[in-house]
Amino acid sequence: MTERLYFHDSYLWQFDASVVWRSDDGLSIVLDRTAFYPTSGGQPHDIGSIQDCPVLDVVDDNGTIAHSLSKPLPLEHSTVNCQIDASRRLDHMRQHTGQHLLSAVMEEEFGLKTVSFQMGATYATVDVEPQPASISLLEQIEKRANDRLLKNRPIQIAFEDAASVQGLRTPPDREGIVRVVSIEGLDRSACGGTHVGRTGEIGLIALGKTEKVRKALRIEFYCGPRAFSFLRGKIAEADAQAGQAKSKLAEADKQRRKLAEELAAIHGKTRYSNTLPDSTGRFLWEESFPAFAEDLQSKMNSFLEGSASIALLTSVGDGRILFGAHPGLQMDCGKLLKDALTQLGGRGGGSPKSAQGTLADPANLSMLKSFLIP
């Protein structure tokens, strides 16, 4: 049996130990005591080094903990200095303690029992039963778990007799001495894993995707720096979606404008074909509007494609004028409008075919026609 140093001190990053067994190739080592955590209970193994030989894997073989090395441990070492990769372990401790807290909150406050726990390289999962009726429950769970986290309760380790131990969330599955991990005022669980010293060290708990697995609901969760990365990713995702929505909207707006122009062209042509010629054979569109619509210019352009056409459109609200004529009539609309506005008070001009301007006093609009279309 290997003495497990992490049972008593999960923050022990360096220790000395005696080699009790060494494989012939020197790549597998058993020590009298170790702080390396072997894969078990849903928590992955530690990495680090034994006497400068990197540790690749740690397995628990019936109470004996074996360390796999990436290069052989030289024969002369009977005692070794060992180093744990603290950042990987701390991450595991945060996820694992976060799971205790989350499972306790879900069972105590929401009636959801944890039936399994797995910790991966980027996220961890708990399976709970029964499946909650509503996913909105997850938001409440997340909030309550973080409320509890912020109380910064101590986490204590005790060794108790399985026959007499009280108040465990799940009855012990073995006889003899059990290791009890307690979050003060919230939870007592039998567990051989590594945990942080206070709930505040978990940092933050964020819940991710869920998936139905047989009778259970599998919930992804993230603790500490993992939670920050997860939420940062969510923000980036939302930004990208907003960007996509924006460009879709711009594309839709472009389409809308194109259709509106096509429609305006049809209106202009229809108006021309419904207009009767005056006594001189000209097709006149004269109209006053409260204000100019966005597509009016397009309608007018389309109307003016008809032979012998003249358009004089005015906006009563702001005194604006659109004036145009078919080239066949040989009018100089720009000059006509400019001269008229010089006399009536305003500004404007344009080409022989098409002109625009503004009257300073919209009340003078009624006199415009006699200047422009004699």
Contacts 24+ apart (CB under 8 A), 104-112: 104/148, 104/169, 104/183, 104/186, 104/187, 104/189, 105/141, 105/144, 105/145, 105/148, 105/186, 106/141, 107/169, 108/186, 109/141, 109/144, 110/137, 110/140, 110/141, 112/141, 112/217
Among the listed residues 165, 196, 210, the one whose alpha carbon sits nearest the alpha carbon of residue 89:
196
Q: Which is nearer to Zn ion, 67 or 92 (CB)?
A: 92
Interface positions with Zn ion (CB under 5 A)? 96, 191, 193
Q: Which is nearer to Zn ion, 98 or 324 (CB)?
A: 98
Helical axes 137-150 vs 86-110, angle rounded to 10°: 120
Please state whether the peptide bond connecting residue 38 to the residue before it is cis, i.e. omega within 30 degrees of 0: no
Q: Smallest distance, Å, CB 43 to Zn ion?
A: 7
Q: What's the burial of 251, exposed, middle or buried (CB within 10 Å: 0-12/13-18/19+)? A: exposed
The position carrying tokens 């923050």 is 11
Q: Which is nearer to Zn ion, 195 or 320 (CB)?
A: 195
Q: Which is nearer to Zn ion, 7 or 292 (CB)?
A: 7
Q: Does the CA dihedral 252-254-260-262 come out positive or negative?
A: negative
Q: Smallest distance, Å, CB 156 to Zn ion?
A: 12
Q: What are the C-alpha distances in Å from 338 to residues 151, 195, 220, 292?
A: 79, 86, 73, 20
Q: Smallest distance, Å, CB 193 to Zn ion?
A: 4
Q: What are the C-alpha distances in Å from 300 to residues 254, 296, 353?
A: 21, 6, 12
Q: Smallest distance, Å, CB 190 to Zn ion?
A: 9
The first and second tokens of residue 55, run together, are 């540790």
Report the distance separating Cα 168 and Cα 181, nearest Å: 9
Q: Which is nearer to Zn ion, 7 or 13 (CB)?
A: 7
Report the distance separating Cα 16 and Cα 76, nearest Å: 15
Q: Which is nearer to Zn ion, 193 or 203 (CB)?
A: 193
Report the distance separating Cα 93 and Cα 202, nearest Å: 8
Q: Smallest distance, Å, CB 41 to Zn ion?
A: 7
Number of residue whose CB is nearest Zn ion: 191
Q: Smallest distance, Å, CB 59 to Zn ion?
A: 19
Q: Smallest distance, Å, CB 6 to Zn ion?
A: 12
Q: Smallest distance, Å, CB 191 to Zn ion?
A: 3
Q: Which is nearer to Zn ion, 42 or 357 (CB)?
A: 42
Among the listed residues 58, 42, 57, the one whose alpha carbon sits nearest the alpha carbon of residue 5:
58
Look at residue 267 and give its three-state secondary structure: helix
Instruction: Give Cβ neighbours of residue 6 (< 8 Å, ≥ 6 apart).
Output: 12, 34, 35, 36, 37, 194
Q: Which is nearer to Zn ion, 94 or 96 (CB)?
A: 96
Q: Which is nearer to Zn ion, 73 or 124 (CB)?
A: 124
Q: Smallest distance, Å, CB 179 to Zn ion?
A: 9
Q: Smallest distance, Å, CB 109 to Zn ion?
A: 20
Name the CA radius of gyration of the chain, rounded: 41
Q: Which is nearer to Zn ion, 193 or 350 (CB)?
A: 193
